[in-house]
Amino acid sequence: MNDPQTHSSRQDIENTVWEVRERYVNLSPIGSGAYGTVCSAMDRRTGNKVAIKKLYRPFQSEIFAKRAYRELKLLKHMKHENVIGLIDVFTPALTLDGFHDFYLVMPFMDADLNKVMGRLSEDRIQYLLYQILRGIKYIHSTGIIHRMLPDRHFYCPQVSLLRVSANNKISINLLQDLKPGNLAINKDCGLKIIDFGLARHTDSEMTGYVVTRWYRAPEIILNWRHYAQSVDIWSVGCIFAEMITGKILFKGKDYLDQLAQIMKITGTPSSDFIQKLDSMEARNYIRTLPYIKKKDFTSLFSNASPLAVDLLEKMLVLDADKRLSAAEALSHPYFEPFRDLEEETKPEPFDDSLDQLKLSVDLWKRHAFQEVMNFAPFSSLHKRPMETAL
């Protein structure tokens, strides 16, 4: 049970009053966006550095209140060492009437995967990729991840900012925007997925958001009839290739160029693939393309081991129905040094019964207060870090 906050310190950060538990000291702002500010801090109880997020006016409207509740609920539910989750959540309020703010405490991460691209040995690539897939397998099995609208002006590799879209629509339970910037790492080679719910409303809103496009599965660009969890495996394959070579694999200038870059390596799609496209324009466009033979991955990734090439080839399959799942990828011989079935956590069922309801601000606030009050910290046995750090 999360006891009400009785001992706290107050300070002004980014023109906002922060009132945090005395166990958290040395607060320093590290990022801010449309929905909140994030500070690093030292946890005196554990001696560890943490990231603390305070939402801006979480109960100013029904949309903000639902967003705040959902972020809290999702982060509380995530209990896996390769997915961002909560260390603590607290409020200075003693009663519901005084409940106006709450603070999310998460692990502090040193950097994101972008910082080490091209400087990784094969054993580190194996270990990082293994952790990515473990996290993805866990997230996929929850079935709770929804499409959300990003704050394109926010960047902070230390925390996950989960947001419900403005119209509160619920969509498919996929990552869809997995990229190196969404993978946080520590010096001990530990990795966490920190943004597992980003997506966009329309293509027009994605103008200029180039990084996402480079890792996006071709079936999303081409508006396939159905998406599966394998869209994320494509993204992982792109990240895997970049870890090997230090270069972005498919660096398209726009959507058509993105498809062209993909097909230069995967080859021209088969007729079976084309039939799976919803858009007649997309079908006709693909049919007009000249025939391209699939590249030899062994030559393309000559510095990689045969097992790495084999796994990569099975991830970067144009037809999503023939792509590996996260569980199948984890079973690949490439991960034999790290595989431990007992450590692959299975999530508890997620209660999303409130998702479809239209509630008042006061009711969302009441539910959020209850979630804060009944928070119980998650403790798990972490894997022994690699002998050599990043």
Fold for the domain defined by 8-109+353-367: Phosphorylase Kinase; domain 1 (3.30.200)
Chain center to CA of 40: 20
Whether 128 contacts 189, CB under 8 Å: yes
Sequence ranges of the binding site: 54
User: How does pLDDT run across 90-118, given as a tens digit for each residue?
Assistant: 999 999 999 999 999 999 998 899 999 98
Whether 136 contacts 80, CB under 8 Å: no
Task: Place 248 in a pLDDT band, splitting at 50, 70 and 90.
Answer: very high
Q: How many Å apart are CA 313 and CA 266, to the nearest integer?
A: 9
The residue-averaged pLDDT of 179-193 equals 92
User: How does pLDDT run across 314-364, given as a tens digit for each residue?
Assistant: 999 998 889 999 999 999 999 998 877 656 667 776 777 787 788 999 999
Q: What is the mean pLDDT of the chain?
A: 80
Sequence ranges of the binding site for ATP: 54
Whether 2 contacts 373, CB under 8 Å: yes
Beta strands in 117-233 (DSSP E): 183-185, 191-193
Task: Place 379 in a pLDDT band, splitting at 50, 70 and 90.
Answer: low
Whether 53 contacts 21, CB under 8 Å: no
Helix locations, the chain, DSSP H: 62-77, 122-142, 210-214, 218-221, 230-245, 255-266, 271-275, 280-288, 297-300, 306-315, 326-330, 361-373
The answer to whether residue 170 scores a pLDDT higher than 50 is no
Number of helical (H) and strand (E) elements in the chain, helices listed first: 12, 10
Beta strands in the chain (DSSP E): 8-13, 16-21, 24-32, 36-43, 49-55, 88-90, 103-107, 111-112, 183-185, 191-193
Cβ neighbours of residue 271 under 8 Å, at least 6 residues apart? none
Best CA proximity match to 227, nearest among 266, 190, 177, 185: 177
Q: What percent of the chain has pLDDT over 90?
A: 49
Domain with CATH 3.30.200.20 in the chain: 8-109+353-367
The residue-averaged pLDDT of 143-160 equals 35
The answer to whether residue 387 scores a pLDDT higher than 80 is no
Q: What's the pLDDT at 227?
A: 66
Q: What's the pLDDT at 168?
A: 32
| More confident of the two residues 280 and 382 | 280
The answer to whether residue 72 scores a pLDDT higher than 70 is yes
| More confident of the two residues 16 and 209 | 16
Q: What's the pLDDT at 219?
A: 84
Q: What's the pLDDT at 226?
A: 61
Q: Read off φ and ψ for residue 245, nearest 5 degrees.
A: -100, -20
Tokens of residue 318, six digits:
């144009």
The residue-averaged pLDDT of 302-313 equals 96
Q: What's the pLDDT at 14?
A: 79
pTM over 0.85: no
Bridge partners of 283, per DSSP, are: none
Q: What's the pLDDT at 390?
A: 52
Bridge partners of 211, per DSSP, are: none
Q: What's the pLDDT at 135?
A: 92
User: How does pLDDT run across 36-65, given as a tens digit for each residue?
Assistant: 889 999 999 999 999 999 988 899 999 999
At the top level of CATH, which class does the domain 111-343 belong to? mainly alpha
The answer to whether residue 297 scores a pLDDT higher than 90 is yes
| More confident of the two residues 265 and 273 | 265
Q: How many Å apart are CA 335 and CA 230, to the nearest integer?
A: 19
Domain with CATH 1.10.510.10 in the chain: 111-343
Cβ neighbours of residue 93 under 8 Å, at least 6 residues apart? 4, 5, 99, 100, 101, 369
**To which residue do tokens 């699939």 refer?**
294
Q: What's the pLDDT at 271?
A: 86
Q: What's the pLDDT at 103?
A: 95
Which of 78-82, 197-201, 302-306, 340-344 is most confident? Answer: 302-306
Catalytic center residues:
177
The residue-averaged pLDDT of 262-270 equals 92
| More confident of the two residues 156 and 226 | 226
